[in-house]
Amino acid sequence: MIAAARRARFLWPLVALLGGFVYLFSLGGLYIPHIGDEAPYIEITRLTAASGSWLPLETGEGLENTKPPLLFWLGITGTDWGADWTLFRLRLPVVLFTFATAILAFWLSLKLGDDRETAWLAALTFLGFYSSFHYGRPFLTNSPETFFVFLSFAIVLLYRNPWIAAGVALGIACLFKSFALVAPVGLSMLWVAGRRSVLRVGLSVAIAVAIFGLWPLLDPDPGAVLRHFVLEENLGKLQGEGYLRGLVSGPYALHWLWLGHFGNAGLFGVPLLFLVVASLRERRSLTPEEKSLWILVLSFLVVYSIPSQRQENYLIPTVPALAILIARRWTSLHQEWLRWFAVPGAVFTAALLWVVIGIREQALPPGSYRGWQLAVPAVVLGLWILLLLRPREARFSFHALVFASFLLLAVAVAPFEGPLGRYDPERVAFLKGKRVFVPSEFVSRHERHRFLLPGARIEGYDPADVDTASRLLSSGQHVVVHRTLSGGIEGPFRVIGRRFDLRSRQTLDEMWRILTRREIELLVRQELVVRRYRRDRMD
């Protein structure tokens, strides 16, 4: 007990500081782990801020209201109505919600009777899940949604008459994500509280729906909200052809959802497997608190098995519950389990180091990576291997190594966040005020160029239409084109700006080719700003 108290006082707070640093490091970068939805959310925020009104949410061409307003309002206030338009300012409130959720996991663990070391481990395990890092830093809805969903459930677990407060917290979560959250959270509340609490749970659900209803009530165009968000974005996922076939095959098959938390766990995948196995074996002896936390997890799995679109990120609000459950068993883990915990970390770090070496040798100019940027991954890999050989050390170093591995992602992309990945300042100044057409492979993907070319009038074009770029260039427009590392631009065109870009959304086959065949051009490409050559104008 004395050793545990000392660790809770000194070791785990230091690991938490490391985690906080890693989460904030390079928060304003273009290449932090993110998903495609961030670009359209940023575009909606920018356009709404420019309109000077909270509602309606302003959207770009071909994009409708796809989420409730709280995330966009968070971005508007965080950037002072767009006056300080940076990725860091947009993302900071989101990562603060992630930290708040870790604190909530710490607090709930203590309230459920755990000691301070277990509470620290719960918070650190939540931050160590890859889903927390992947979805809890970019400008996305998941982090605020997770905080308020878990808060509503924690209130039900801890307080005698929680229904109004729980309904308010759940309603705020709905205003960040969707009214559909009342289904899994309501089910978990009813499951925990019992059938006699149907009316009380119904009160919480009614309050949550009423709070969500403020959006269409206050929006100048409530019909658009109901049509695009309620009917198309939400209820539309309950429809579609091939529903039965989609249960067993395709990207949204049922088994992928039920295995989804292993993807969310990332380097905590083996600890999560241990938790599942141990909980199934000891299911009759689980404490009431543990059963309640599992109920939240299972409620989300059951409810989100129903729509035709089943994604693991729908389960993210239950990650804090899994973190507490893992933390409760952490200090009593068998040594052989600890050995297996280190395997994913060693594999991940070795693969990342292998890719970085390939980029250094085949893609970027000499000296793009400094010596320490190769030495740090090598040291982290050595530490993971050490844990394989000495597993008893993993109990108190695993979380720190997970955060160090997250940091390696920023180290790996560091050259692309620097001058090699940015246009020359003189070219940026030259393009200020000019129209620049940018390929947009995903919805509003071109939006990130507003951070690369501040002041330019950015517009997107579909690169799948091979003739589009040619038509734009022929009309004298400035056009961004992508080329392989060895490719160029043919014709009477002048390259205005050039930078190295990391290509995203590789297929599994492409990732395998990058790792095994060293086909780095599948990962790194050139990005060129091109304009038709004109003799009467010097650039």
Are 357 and 431 contained in the same domain?
no
Question: What pLDDT, on a 0 to 100 scale, did the predictor assign at position 244?
Answer: 75
Tell me, yes or no, whether 378 lies in a domain: yes
Question: What pLDDT, on a 0 to 100 scale, did the predictor assign at position 36?
Answer: 84
Are 391 and 493 contained in the same domain?
no
Whole-angstrom CA distances from 170 to 95, 177, 251 are: 20, 10, 29
Given 385, 415, 445, which residue is the final one in a domain?
415
Question: pLDDT tens per residue, the chain (539 residues)?
Answer: 667 777 777 889 999 999 999 999 999 999 999 888 899 999 999 999 999 999 999 987 767 667 899 999 999 999 999 888 999 999 999 999 999 999 999 999 999 999 999 999 999 999 999 999 999 999 999 999 999 999 999 999 999 889 999 999 999 999 999 999 999 999 999 999 988 889 999 999 999 999 999 999 999 988 888 888 888 777 777 666 677 777 877 788 888 999 999 999 999 999 999 999 999 999 889 999 999 999 999 999 999 999 888 889 999 999 999 999 999 999 888 777 888 899 999 999 999 999 999 999 888 998 899 889 899 999 999 999 999 888 888 888 999 999 999 999 999 999 999 999 999 999 999 999 999 999 887 778 888 999 999 999 999 888 887 788 888 888 888 999 888 888 777 778 888 889 999 988 778 888 889 888 888 888 899 999 988 876 544 44
Distance in angstroms (rounded) separating the CA atoms of residues 97 and 219: 26
Whole-angstrom CA distances from 151 to 143, 156, 374 are: 12, 9, 42
Are 476 and 373 contained in the same domain?
no
Are 257 and 363 contained in the same domain?
no
Question: What pLDDT, on a 0 to 100 scale, did the predictor assign at position 407?
Answer: 96
Tell me, yes or no, whether 386 lies in a domain: yes
Burial of 449 (0-12, 13-18, 19+ CB in 10 A): buried
Alpha-helical runs (H) found in 112-162: 116-128, 130-135, 142-158
Report which of 328, 321, 345 is spatially closest to residue 393, judged by C-alpha positions: 345
Residue 375 belongs to what domain range? 335-415
Are 388 and 433 contained in the same domain?
no
CB 69 within 8 A of CB 470: no
Report which of 300, 283, 108 is spatially closest to residue 187, judged by C-alpha positions: 300
Tell me, yes or no, whether 19 lies in a domain: no
The single residue listed with the structure tokens 């709070």 is: 211
What's the CATH number where 441 sits? 3.40.190
Strands 478-483 and 435-439: parallel
Given 382, 415, 448, which residue is the final one in a domain?
415
Are 136 and 280 contained in the same domain?
yes
Tell me, yes or no, whether 512 lies in a domain: yes
Tell me, yes or no, whether 43 lies in a domain: no
3-state SS, residue 457: strand
Question: What pLDDT, on a 0 to 100 scale, did the predictor assign at position 241?
Answer: 65
H-helix or E-strand containing 472? Answer: helix 466-474
Q: How many CB atoms lie within 10 A of CB 373?
A: 16
Give me the DSSP letters along 435-455: EEEEE-SSTTGGGGHHHHSTT
Distance in angstroms (rounded) separating the CA atoms of residues 290 and 282: 11
Whole-angstrom CA distances from 331 to 12, 122, 397 are: 13, 12, 12
Question: What pLDDT, on a 0 to 100 scale, did the predictor assign at position 82?
Answer: 86
Tell me, yes or no, whether 234 lies in a domain: yes
Are 509 and 444 contained in the same domain?
yes
Question: What pLDDT, on a 0 to 100 scale, did the predictor assign at position 188?
Answer: 96
Are 292 and 308 contained in the same domain?
yes
Give the residues across from 526 on adjacent strands.
483, 500
Distance in angstroms (rounded) separating the CA atoms of residues 71 and 94: 9
* The two structure tokens encoding residue 447: 């939006």
Give the residues across from 500 on adjacent strands.
526
Give me the DSSP letters along 95-107: HHHHHHHHHHHHH
Given 263, 298, 330, which residue is the final one in a domain?
330
Are 352 and 259 contained in the same domain?
no
Are 502 and 399 contained in the same domain?
no
Are 235 and 211 contained in the same domain?
yes
